[in-house]
Structure 1
Amino acid sequence: MTVGPGDIAEVAGVRATAPLRTVSDVILQVDRYPAVSVLDSALNQGRITSAQLALIPSLIRGRRGAVAARACLAEADGRAQSPLETRTRLRCVDGRVPPDALHLEIRDDDGYLGIGDLGWRGPRIIAEADGRDAHGSPEAAFADRRRQTRLVNAGWTVLRFTWSDTLRPDYIPWTVRQAIAAARRR
């Protein structure tokens, strides 16, 4: 595929392919999890728009990997704030326990409690994708604990997943199913 004039951008004085072209090329070269992560990230950071996402099938038509890449487009969601959130969501989808909400805002009688990365409203379960950068400091750990206590007191079950959890295809869906079953017994 040739590079057209709209495919080039200048970044810090260096010529590079524009975000839409870069995303289109990358998703042809990688497996589903990194492809959806790249799409989610590009949407979340405003590097591409939903309208541009809709153009990708025509940009990749006829290229090797296009069939698999088109399937990834349907799974893209710009609300994911990290590849860890994307991977956690995809594990749930693959395990047939897809969340019914992403970035679910939760309130109690006192007001705002926070936003859960993934949510299952009926059984009142949220899953947090805890990355090392955002949750690794002692201050962040203590804030997470306080928030979790308030969520539990408001009747929510909080599940926490890390990158290593996403490496086991069965672990996250199994854990979510167990939490849903426990909620039904209450």
Structure 2
Amino acid sequence: MPRLPGPPPPIRTFADLAATRGRARATDGHRRSTMGAWLPDHVADDFQARCAALAFARPEIVVTGWTAARFHGHQWPDSPEVVEVATGRRRLRRPGVLARQYDIPHAEIEEFSGPGGQPIRVASPAWTLFDLARNLERLPAVVALDGSSHFPVDARYAVTEMSNRYPERRGSAAARRAASEADPRAESPKETELRLFLVDCGFDSFVPQVKVPGCRARLDLADRERKIAVEYDGRGHLEAGQHARDLERWRDLISDGWIILPVGVRDLRYRRVALKAQVRAALVSRGWRPSS
């Protein structure tokens, strides 16, 4: 008589790691996420699962920075390979983990439910942006704030308010400066980079996403009074149909008296001096004079 199959093995959870055999932790049905943190075999390996595994191993951690930004739905999240956490006073050194040794105020911590219902403590949207703005260099900090338009807080106000409330926190002054330069109208990291480049050149009359009557699309950055547009021509514009539409739109704008200056990635990397001269020449041709 054939042997009937037995019941399927139970699905392992994070809590099954609490069982021990002698001095060894029971890891059957799990795979290592990082040193001391394990994932059940049936759980997909993504940033939430890695956070859940780490939260089970180290309940005191609070997810922050770019990882918290992913939880809150940031438009332009950084690499998901690294989990960024605040550890309070305890030190944490693990491969794939960026641990920052400081406390996050209890009022600025939210709880998410991870795989298998594992609770994950995550910095609030406001504190997440504050951490990004004070820990990153100027350009990535402003990019982080510009790309948070879907957050339930206004990035500029939230970061400024946090900087004023916690002036003793390292980098709070830098965070305040990043907030002053942020603009939620930006639609890509490269557009933010181009805008900051123009500001640094002293060309502060350009504003993002300008709508021109009769034009079917907004201009990336434009001086509306002088009818000068600086357009970032990224990879999405290389598709044949999009490129044809761009050319048609630019011809219409030129016919309407606009000066169009397309900018590519090589311009921002290698041709900044020439690009500055071209923008300056366009502005001067329309009556602009540098402020003294």
TM range (shorter): 0.7 to 0.9
Larger Rg: 2
Q: Tell me by how many angstroms 1:152 deviates.
A: 0.8
Determine helix, strand or coil for the equivalent of 1:150: helix
Instruction: Please identify which structure carries the higher helix content.
Output: 1
- Alignment length (residue pairs): 179
SS at match of 1:167: helix
What are structure 2's unaligned runs of at least 5 residues? 1-101, 288-292
Q: Which of 11, 14, 20 does residue 126 from structure 2 map onto?
A: 20
Answer 1 or 2: higher relative contact order, Cα 8 Å, separation at least 6.
1
Q: Which residue of 2 aligns with 1:126?
A: 229
Contact (CA 8 Å) 1:20, 1:48: kept in 2 or not?
A: yes
Partner of 1:48: 153
Query: In 2, distance between residues paired with 1:11 and 1:150?
Result: 51
Counterpart code for 1:103: Q
Residue 70 of structure 1 pairs with residue 146 of structure 2: no
Partner Cα distance (2:230, 2:166) in 1: 34
- Structure 1's unaligned 5+ residue stretches are none
Equivalence for 1:146 = 248
- Pick from 255, 258, 263 the counterpart of residue 161 of structure 1: 263
TM-score by length of 2: 0.55
Task: Say which is worse superposed, 80-89 or 50-59, in terms of deviation.
Answer: 50-59
Aligned ranges for residues 103-114 of structure 1 at < 5 Å? 103-107=209-213, 111-114=214-217
TM-score, structure 1 length as denominator? 0.83
TM superposition outliers: structure 1 runs of 4+ over 6 Å: none
Identity of aligned residues (%): 27
Retained in 2: the 8 A contact 1:96–1:173? Answer: no
Q: Which residue of 2 aligns with 1:2?
A: 103
Change beyond 3 A, Cα 1:172–1:10: farther
1:110-136 deviation digits (Å, cap 9, x = unpaired) = x3343111111232101112221x313
Give the alignment partner of residue 164 of structure 2, picking from 47, 52, 58: 58
Tell me the alpha carbon deviations over residues 18-52 of structure 1, each in whole angstroms, 9 at most, x when there is no partner: 3222221122221111111111111x233532542
1:29, 1:103 → 2: CA distance? Answer: 28
Closer/same/farther in 2, CA of residues 63 and 54 from structure 1, 3 Å limit: closer
Write the deviation string for residues 49-78 of structure 1: whole angstroms up to 9, x where unpaired: 254244231355212222222111111110
- Cα RMSD over matched residues? 2.3
